[in-house]
Amino acid sequence: MTLLETIRGPRDLDSLSKEQLVQLAAEIREFLVTEVSKTGGHLGPNLGVVEMTIAMHRVFESPRDAMIFDTGHQSYVHKLLTGRQNFSTLRQQHGLAGYPQRSESEHDIVESSHASSSLSWADGISRAFAMTGQGDRHVVAVVGDGALTGGMTWEALNNISDDNTRRLIIIVNDNGRSYAPTIGGMARFLNTMRTRRSYRSLYLSSRRAFDRLGAPGRAVYRGIRGGMHGFLSRFSNNEALYSNLDIKYIGPVQGHDVAAMEEALRQAKGYGAPVIVHTITEKGRGYEPALKDYADQFHAVGQIDPETGESLESSTAASWTSVFADEMVTLATQNERLVGITAAMLRPTGLHRMAERFPDRVHDVGIAEQHAVTSAAGLAFGGLHPVVAIYATFMNRAFDQVLMDVALHKAGVTFVLDRAGVTGPDGPSHHGMWDLAILQVVPGIRLAAPRDATRLREELAEAVVVEDGPTVLRFPKGGVGVEFDAVRRTGDGVDVLCESGKDVLLVAVGSMAGLALDVADRLSAQGIGATVVDPRWVVPVPKSIIELASEHRIVVSIEDGIRVGGIGTRIRQDLREAGVDTAVTELGLPDEFLDHASRSQILERVGLTPQQVALDVTAMISGSKLPHARPLPEDAAV
């Protein structure tokens, strides 16, 4: 039995010797590389927080002391130390989540896994403890240096510093990276702190010197360390940004030294007031492939060879992201007014290729989606056309800025939303399923959903020439897949993909076109005629959709966004306003948080498969009430 296998809960760490702690850290890293290489997951971030997490659980008493991880992707070590060591189905259906999840363990507190929110959680929890007579309970928040680029972090710090009576410890996990190297003035400040022979390095070097003297030396050390700490802490605080917030500061601390981390955390615990512990770590620590020039690829990995780090996943299809990346370079070459903006996700969103070609025309603003959007409005005012590339799930965070800063001012800004719809193993906080419902309420907005690579290029080119309001292009995660040519295009740009009768008009939103065509074939086999259309631009609803709807018995919209307030709802409203009484049924995702699983498993569960949709439409045609997410009979004819 390995030492790791004996750890069933945090208190099993208490009796371990210094040598055993070093052994445990090595075993955890070996475990992570072996297991995550089989399933995929966030490997690099977790390799960097092994000793830090061990020290946290030795010093504090989870779950009585609340531990919060920002953004939560670095919680694998926390899971291992709290009794969850079956990683064989990590991020798979019914397996361990890739982020903290309350249903898994009482040790998990915050599930949202969106960056920069941890300190606001910590502020609220610590206030609640103080107000309810639980002042002996601590709150520990781990926040990466990348999250310090987010404004919400500073809003929280402003409030935390206003009340120094709470037991709140903020661990700044400083590895110089978020998805990629952290950018901006905050990054430059922390880099200066890392390289300075600061209070903490002097303090620890003096401790090692005294320890070498044996017991007498340690006694002397204990006698003078208070005075040394007081002097050097003031020395450091006078130079530290955090001192101006009136929050005690300890650091920088070597984050891969369990003893140093424990000493710093015990000292912070003893203050009885908010404390910042600045720890220096290395993302990908102990795994050579993750430390090379392409280390950012190991932030999150698919299945890899554990020895070499090479991907074991093969795909002949280009990804949606790569198609967008290449087209942005093409368009930027033709139009010097185009600029790119991303929020700490230059490579994941594909803007890195434009940045390589036109480095002065791409801006990474850090984890600051709200700033990205309003900054884009300013760029538009200055005569440029910004393309803001962001994951669909993170677009939720900047809705007010889209509404009031871009749309109200009729700014020509294009938003490109990657990972739209059901994304799969990252779970409920990362599905990009709300963008269509949220954004379509913005006056003057135009929303496009390409069905394949050709339409992505086409619609992006159309979007970036719109100068009187926001445009949005959204596409899913993964490979682009096959092309679907239209049999004809209407005068207002709607693609008719097939026409086999006037019974059902299937309106396919973006990547759902393939499903709709499959459904049409199944219906045709039963003598039900169907027309499949791809609106291309789904908002505003093209007039030809209204005209086609008036010619059919029923309309069925199919989208991988939530049904509530989705595109189908918009079509229904427009039909009513036009006086068209054709029945409309909206097929999409339920208004619930969808657990982690593969995209296909989730779509099957919610009834978005060709078989289930064909059954639903058949039921409508026969006059039955439309069932949603009904289990498919094994002997179903369709």
- Which is catalytic among the residues 166, 397, 455, 522? 397
Give the other-Cβ count within 10 Å of 634's Cβ.
Answer: 5
Is 194 designated active site?
Answer: no
Binding site residues, as ranges? 73, 113-115, 145-147, 175, 287, 369
Pick from 35, 156, 145: nearest CA to 95: 35
Binding site residues for Mg(2+), as ranges? 145, 175
Give the other-Cβ count within 10 Å of 410's Cβ.
Answer: 14
For residues 183 and 177, give the distance between their C-alpha atoms in angstroms, rounded to a whole number. Answer: 8
On whether the CB atoms of residues 516 and 497 are closer than 8 A, the answer is: yes
- Which is catalytic among the residues 35, 369, 459, 559? 369
The DSSP annotation for 417-471 comes to: EES-B---TT-TTT-B-SHHHHHTTSTT-EEE--SSHHHHHHHHHHHTT--SS-E
For residues 386 and 373, give the distance between their C-alpha atoms in angstroms, rounded to a whole number. Answer: 9
Q: Which residue has the tokens 């295009």?
A: 489
Q: 595: alpha, beta or left, given left = phi > 0 and alpha = psi -120 to 50?
A: beta
Backbone angles phi, psi at 299, to 5 degrees: -60, -50
For residues 95 and 634, give the distance between their C-alpha atoms in angstroms, rounded to a whole number. Answer: 26
Pick from 272, 145, 252, 127: nearest CA to 201: 252
**What residue spans of 68-183 are helical by DSSP H?**
76-81, 118-131, 151-160
Sheet hosting strand 139-144, strand order edge to edge:
66-70, 139-144, 168-174, 275-280, 248-254
- Which is catalytic among the residues 177, 283, 455, 477? 283
Binding site residues for thiamine diphosphate, as ranges? 73, 113-115, 146-147, 175, 287, 369
State both tokens at 616. Answer: 């639903």
Tell me the Cα Rg of the chain: 27
Is 79 designated active site?
Answer: no
Pick from 535, 494, 529: nearest CA to 617: 529
Give the other-Cβ count within 10 Å of 402's Cβ.
Answer: 27
Q: Which residue has the tokens 């531990």?
A: 67
Is 522 designated active site?
Answer: no
Secondary structure (3-state) at 536: coil
Catalytic residues: 283, 369, 397
